[in-house]
């Protein structure tokens, strides 16, 4: 069992204190029902608390919910409540009956004595590489999910596309799933996708485009670039004729506010596309 420890800084109630410290409404109700530690004693319901009191929120140990499989895990950032890794291409994040990134994280948690379920905050396609945020407990997970929903969390990608492409555009369109083609296509009945595209580098045969997403739709970048006429290299599902063992899309920047410490975390993980586009 672990705790999140706070020193109370003003006279208030437990409910208001937790709300001020970024706990979700659902988390607060659960804490008040199951109990917390106030000045060394377990309590329930929203009591009055006073400046100088010590409040501890209980984090129960959990059974790791994926089979631990040993493999190299590229850890970019870690604190008591968060883990950021750089995912390799050709690796699913949590698909059942496949070896996945979640299996590797499970092994790391087990080896390092962290008894927690695997809670993925953002997700990447199997062939997309780059930064992924994992929450180590249900309270930090709810905190990060809210940042995603409110577009507080910043996510940027790099994509390699064919030809000399000069673009600086906030692109919006609606996409829906095409069951026959197994992809997403423009549709008046679809969900809105909003992505900002900006060229970072132009060469004779290819361009590298930065993609910042403002809606978290499946295949958002891939479908949008195809619709604009710039399919990602190696992405045959969305129109590329480049025969690669992956498509060249990488989650390279991630910015978020950390749970508990409330620090502004800015991470960068640049891909090595040189072997693909110049080899």
Q: With 0-12 CB in 10 A as exposed, 13-18 as middle and 19+ as buried, what is 119?
A: buried
* Model pTM score: 0.93
Question: Is the C-alpha dihedral spanning 168, 173, 177, 180 positive or negative?
Answer: negative
User: What span, in angstroms and rounded, lies between the C-alpha atoms of 185 and 244?
Assistant: 23
Report the largest interatomic distance among the alpha carbons of the chain, rounded to a whole angstrom.
69
Q: Pinpoint the alpha helices (H) of 125-165.
A: 138-149
What average pLDDT score do residues 30-49 get? 96
Q: What letter would DSSP give residue 38?
A: E
Per-residue pLDDT tens digits for 223-245: 999 999 999 999 999 999 999 99
Question: 279 pLDDT exceeds 50?
Answer: no
Domain-terminating residue out of 59, 74, 107? 59
Q: Within a 10 A sphere around the Cβ of 186, how many other Cβ atoms? A: 14
What average pLDDT score do residues 207-223 get? 95
CATH of the domain at 201: 3.30.2350.10
Q: Which residues does residue 186 pair with via DSSP β-bridges, in sequence order?
A: 175
* Chain centre to alpha carbon of residue 37: 31
Domain-terminating residue out of 59, 80, 100? 59
Q: With 0-12 CB in 10 A as exposed, 13-18 as middle and 19+ as buried, what is 159?
A: buried
Of the CA atoms within 13 Å of residue 207, those in its CB half-sphere come to 19
Residue 190 lies in a domain: yes
Residue 69 lies in a domain: no
Closest alpha carbon to 206 in 260, 279, 150 = 279
Higher pLDDT pick, 272 / 119? 119
Number of helical H runs and strand E runs in the chain: 6, 17
Helix axes 138-149, 25-34, angle to 10 degrees: 160
| pLDDT, position 277 | 65
Residue 116 lies in a domain: no
Give percent above pLDDT 70 in the chain: 98
User: What span, in angstroms and rounded, lies between the C-alpha atoms of 123 and 113?
Assistant: 25
Whether residue 10 contacts residue 51, with contact meaning beta carbons closer than 8 Å, is answered with yes
| pLDDT, position 255 | 98
The model's confidence at residue 278, banded by pLDDT at 50, 70 and 90, is low
Distance between first and last Cα of the chain: 52
| pLDDT, position 119 | 97
Domain-terminating residue out of 35, 59, 83? 59
How many folded domains does the chain comprise? 2
The model's confidence at residue 275, banded by pLDDT at 50, 70 and 90, is low
Q: What letter would DSSP give residue 236?
A: G
Pairing assessment for the beta strands 154-162 and 119-120 based on DSSP bridges: unpaired
Give percent above pLDDT 90 in the chain: 92
User: What span, in angstroms and rounded, lies between the C-alpha atoms of 239 and 230?
Assistant: 9
Query: By residue range, what is the domain housing residue 187?
Result: 156-251
The model's confidence at residue 44, banded by pLDDT at 50, 70 and 90, is very high
User: What span, in angstroms and rounded, lies between the C-alpha atoms of 32 and 14?
Assistant: 8
What average pLDDT score do residues 70-79 get? 97
The model's confidence at residue 35, banded by pLDDT at 50, 70 and 90, is very high
Residue 88 lies in a domain: no
Q: Tokens 């501890």 label which residue? A: 56
Question: Is the C-alpha dihedral spanning 162, 173, 190, 127 positive or negative?
Answer: positive
Per-residue pLDDT tens digits for 155-198: 999 999 998 999 999 999 999 999 999 999 999 999 999 999 99
What average pLDDT score do residues 111-116 get? 96
Residue 133 lies in a domain: no
């Amino acid at each position: 069992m672990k705790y999140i420890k706070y020193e109370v800084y003003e006279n208030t109630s437990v409910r208001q204190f937790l709300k001020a410290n970024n706990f979700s409404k659902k988390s607060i109700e659960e804490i008040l029902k199951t109990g917390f530690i106030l000045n060394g004693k377990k309590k329930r319901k929203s009591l009055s608390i006073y400046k100088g009191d010590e409040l501890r929120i209980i984090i129960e140990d959990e059974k790791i919910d994926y089979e631990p499989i040993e493999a190299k895990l590229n850890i970019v950032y870690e604190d008591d409540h968060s883990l950021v890794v750089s995912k390799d291409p050709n690796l699913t994040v949590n698909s059942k009956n496949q070896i996945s990134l979640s299996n590797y994280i499970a092994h790391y948690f087990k080896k390092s004595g962290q008894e927690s379920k695997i809670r993925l905050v953002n997700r990447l396609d199997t062939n997309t590489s780059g930064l992924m945020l994992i929450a180590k407990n249900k309270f930090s997970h709810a905190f990060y999910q809210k940042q995603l929903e409110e577009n507080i969390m910043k996510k940027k990608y790099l994509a390699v596309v064919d030809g000399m492409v000069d673009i600086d555009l906030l692109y919006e369109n609606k996409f829906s799933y095409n069951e026959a083609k197994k992809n997403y296509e423009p549709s008046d009945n679809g969900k809105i996708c909003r992505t900002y595209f900006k060229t970072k580098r132009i060469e004779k045969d290819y361009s590298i485009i930065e993609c910042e997403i403002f809606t978290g739709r499946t295949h958002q970048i891939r479908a949008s670039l195809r619709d604009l006429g710039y399919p990602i290299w190696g992405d045959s599902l969305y129109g590329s004729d480049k025969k690669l063992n992956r498509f060249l899309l990488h989650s390279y920047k991630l910015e978020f506010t950390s749970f508990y410490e409330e620090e502004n975390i800015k991470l960068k993980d640049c891909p090595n596309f040189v072997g693909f586009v110049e080899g």
